[in-house]
Amino acid sequence: MDTLKVGIIGTGRKKERPDRFGYAMAYEHANSYQAIENCEIVACADISEENAAAFAETYDVAQTFTDYRAMLDEARPDMVSICTWMHLHEPMVLDAVAAGVKAIHCEKPMADTWGGAKRMAEAAEKAGVQLTFNHQRRYGAPFMMAKRILDEGRIGELTRLECECGNIYDSGTHFMDMFSFFNGEQRAKWVLAQVDYRKENKVFGAHCENQQVVLTEYENGVFGLIMTGAGGASPVGCTDKLIGTEGVIELGVNKARAVRYRLAGEKEWTTPDTNGESIHGPGFIERAIADVVACLREGRKCQLDASNALIVTELIFGAYESSRRRGRVDFPLDIEDNPLAAMVESGDLQPAPANA
């Protein structure tokens, strides 16, 4: 088996306490690559020479760059991980595709605009490049266990999916992506949403709503309900809920209990053992990247493929567009921008400064 040469774009800085300005995800990616046989990190790039040098020292990386384009040109990696803020994803993915890499694994959310997300996916598909996004919870024991219970028919036919999260763009992309995971990668038909954005809330430089309610219907008739930003309240009662004709499955109850289910007619919940895994990990990213590499080597489609990521991304930007139009939005989504950011720029939304 030939050695897979990997380049890391955006090393970041390892922090004692990760926050909305950085999680040093490149280090998580690097740990995963190092655990894979015949996989070598040959180069890294970061606009901070100090950050790149610290990363290279940690993982014994031979080449460091402050310009990722120079890294693509000189190091010629087979595969790259993109671990930067969202507004940089589109140009970096397009440049990596043009440089002739075989695979790109990018952090989520896909892009800062709907048009950007589509352009990345189209460019990669046209060039035959494997493009994946790090919705790693698909590899978590609680979620895989919930899907197994669903697929076994234990809660009957799936009728509704519910979710609560901080916002739909940054954290919500994970838990709304799980709707796709549970629902057979069905696309949504339409979305109806309302947003509240009274105080500036930026995550990795991107505007995120304070609170929102989203209703959608998928092509197979399953409904999705998403509620964000409720603070200490819990309108759904858990992070993800699967409602079937004969029972219910809940994940992330009180942010503690990983998964539980209750069948019709039962009074008590059944709580399966997830071997210490919560809805956040550990081990999700390692499994995700191991599968991404395996899919590349075996020539099979990965469940983290851009085509699947587009489903949740269309729902996110469609929900913001519904607020802008003050009405239902039917898919496919016919916009190019980020409606939430556009409403702030136009003055339609005027959030107070974050430090006010």
Residues 195-239: tens digit of each pLDDT: 999 999 999 999 999 999 999 999 999 999 999 997 777 899 999
- Single-letter amino acid code for the residue at 77: P
pTM for this entry: 0.95
Fold of 138-281+312-346: Dihydrodipicolinate Reductase; domain 2 (3.30.360)
Helix (H, G, I), strand (E, B) or coil at 257: strand
Residue whose entry in the numeric block shows the structure tokens 């790149």: 52
**Within the chain, how many helices (H) and strands (E) appear?**
10, 16
Which residue, 114, 90, 89, is CA-closest to 322? 114
Q: What is the mean pLDDT of each run of 10 residues along the chain (356 residues)?
A: 94 70 83 97 97 97 98 98 97 98 98 98 98 98 97 98 96 96 98 97 95 98 95 88 98 82 95 93 96 98 98 98 98 98 98 88
Residues present in the chain in total: 356
> Which tokens in the block code for residue 185?
């990668």
The residue whose two tokens read 């607020």 is 323
The residue type of 285 is I
Instruction: Say what the pLDDT of residue 17 is.
Output: 61
- CATH T-level topology, domain 4-135: Rossmann fold (3.40.50)
d(CA 290, CA 292): 6
Q: How far apart are CA 204 and CA 284, in angstroms?
A: 22
224 burial via Cβ count (<10 Å: 0-12, 13-18, 19+): buried
Domain ranges across the chain: 4-135, 138-281+312-346
State which H helix or E strand residue 79 sits in. strand 79-82
Which parts of 237-281 fold into alpha helices (H)? none
Task: Please tell me the predicted confidence (pLDDT) of residue 255.
Answer: 58
Select from 133, 184, 114 the least CA-distant residue to 306.
133
